Amino acid sequence: MKYFYTLLLVCLAFMATSQLSYTSGYHASGSYSQPMTTVSAGIFAFDFDTTGANITWDYNLLGMDLSGRKYTVTPASSGYQAPFITQCILSGGGFTCLTKWNRLTNLGMVDLDSLNAVVFTLYDVMTMAKKSSSHLIGNIKGLKIKDTNGLTVPVVTEYANADTIFTFPFTYQDSGKSYAQWGLDLNSIGQNIQYKVTYDRNWVVEGWGKLITPYQTHHNVLKVKTTLNQVDSVIFMTTPFGIPRKIVEYTWYDANFGLPIMKAEGIESIGIVTITSVQYYDTRIVGLSEDSKESIFSVYPNPTSSILNIVNTNKNVVAYRIVDIQGKIIITSKISNSINVDSYPSGIYMIQLLNESNSVIDSQKFVKE
C-alpha cells in the first residue's frame, strides 16, 4: 500500500510539472520571426476541435500551399510611429506624443497583409500592443489605405476600448475575455468613409498535450480557443453597412517559440465551426518562400486591375496557382503568358509556378487593385 501511494504521488507530481504554463517571457518581444506554412486544401478531413488534458493532436498529413513567415517588429520599425506622433501633435498632444506612444506599445504584431473592409481594402494591418509580465494588450491599430490619388498612405488609430488579448501566465483551463473597439474616419485623406470594428473576445485554454505536424513533434503544448463576436460597420456616402461574424481561432503554444506554432482559423455559424485556413511551424523549403530574393520569373503590372502578365523562362513550369492571403487556392491552371484577374476582390495574392509533379518551383506576390 505504501508503494501505491508513493507511485500515486509521483504520478501526480509529474502531471503537475508536465502541463505548460505559458508566461510573458515566452511570448515574442520586439523583432521576432518564425517560418510558417499556410494550407487550405484538404483541411476539412482533419478534426481541430479536440480538447482535454494529455491529448495528442496528430496533423502530420497536413499539406503545404504557401511558405512564409509570422513575425513581430519593434514599434520604431513598424512604420506607424511617425504617423501616430504626427496625428497626435495635430490633435494638440504636443511634446507628450512620443511618451504616449511608448506608454501604449512595445510590440508590433503583424495581423494581415490585406483586409477587405466592405467598400475598400486595408493593407499591412498591424496591432501595436503593450506586453507586460501580466498582460498582452492591443492599444493601436496601424494600417495603410489608398487615397483618392491612388497612393497608399499609413493611418493609425487608438483603440476606443483596448483589447486584452491575453493575461499571463496561462495554463490548461485558464480563460479570459475582453471588449474591444477601434475605428477610422477617412475623410482626412479624401475618402467619405467611416469604419468601425467592435468585438467581444473570449479565450480559453481548452487543451494540453502533444502536437504532431508534418515537420516535427511538439511534446508540451497548450491549445487555446479564441472566439471573436465581431461587427464590422461602415458608413459610406451616408449609407451604413454592418457585417456581424463569429471568428474562431485555435492556436497551439510551445514555450520554445515566441508565437503560436500552429493556428487554425475559421467561422462559426449555427454552432458549427468551419476552418478555412491552417498555419503551422515548418522550416522545410519547397521552391522559394516569399522572403526569397531571387526569382525565376516576374509579373507585371504590379499592382494590376485586370491583366497580370508573366515572364518565365523555366521549361519545367507547366502550371500556375493563385492563392489568397488566407491560403485559399483561387485557381490552378496551365501556364499562360497573361491571366485575367479582373473579377478578383482587391487585395494581396500569391502566384505559384508548378512543375509536372505539382510542386511549387517559385512564387511571387501581386496586388489586385
In the numeric block, the cell 467619405 is attached to 192
pLDDT < 70 regions, the chain: 1-18, 113-120, 147-151, 188-190, 237, 283-295, 325-327
Q: Are 229 and 258 in contact (CB under 8 A)?
A: no
The total of other beta-carbon atoms located within 10 Å of residue 205's CB is 23
Q: Which of 157, 197, 199, 160 is nearest to 178 (CA)?
A: 199
Q: Are 244 and 219 in contact (CB under 8 A)?
A: no
The pTM score is: 0.72
| pLDDT for 94 | 82
Backbone φ and ψ for 209, nearest 5 degrees, come out as: 160, -140
Rounded distance between C-alpha atoms, residue 259 and residue 310, angstroms: 35
Q: Are 70 and 110 in contact (CB under 8 A)?
A: yes
The secondary element (H helix, E strand) that includes residue 201 is strand 193-212
pLDDT tens by residue, 178-224: 999 999 887 766 677 788 999 999 999 999 999 999 888 999 999 99
The alpha carbon torsion through 247, 127, 261, 177 (nearest 10 deg) reads -50
Rounded distance between C-alpha atoms, residue 179 and residue 170, angstroms: 19
| pLDDT for 109 | 92
| pLDDT for 114 | 60
| pLDDT for 366 | 81
Q: Which of 49, 63, 18 is nearest to 215 (CA)?
A: 63
| pLDDT for 16 | 43
In the numeric block, the cell 493563385 is attached to 322
Q: What share of the chain is helix, strand, coil (3-state, %, to 5)?
A: 15, 55, 30
Q: Are 335 and 321 in contact (CB under 8 A)?
A: no
Q: Are 343 and 306 in contact (CB under 8 A)?
A: no
Please report the beta strands in 12-64, taking only residues with DSSP state E, as ranges in sequence order. Answer: 32-39, 52-58
> At 91, which amino acid appears?
S
The secondary element (H helix, E strand) that includes residue 281 is strand 272-281
Q: Are 361 and 333 in contact (CB under 8 A)?
A: no
| pLDDT for 286 | 40
What the chain holds in terms of domains, given with CATH numbers, is 18-281 (no CATH), 297-368 (2.60.40.10)
In the numeric block, the cell 514555450 is attached to 255
Rounded distance between C-alpha atoms, residue 205 and residue 227, angstroms: 12
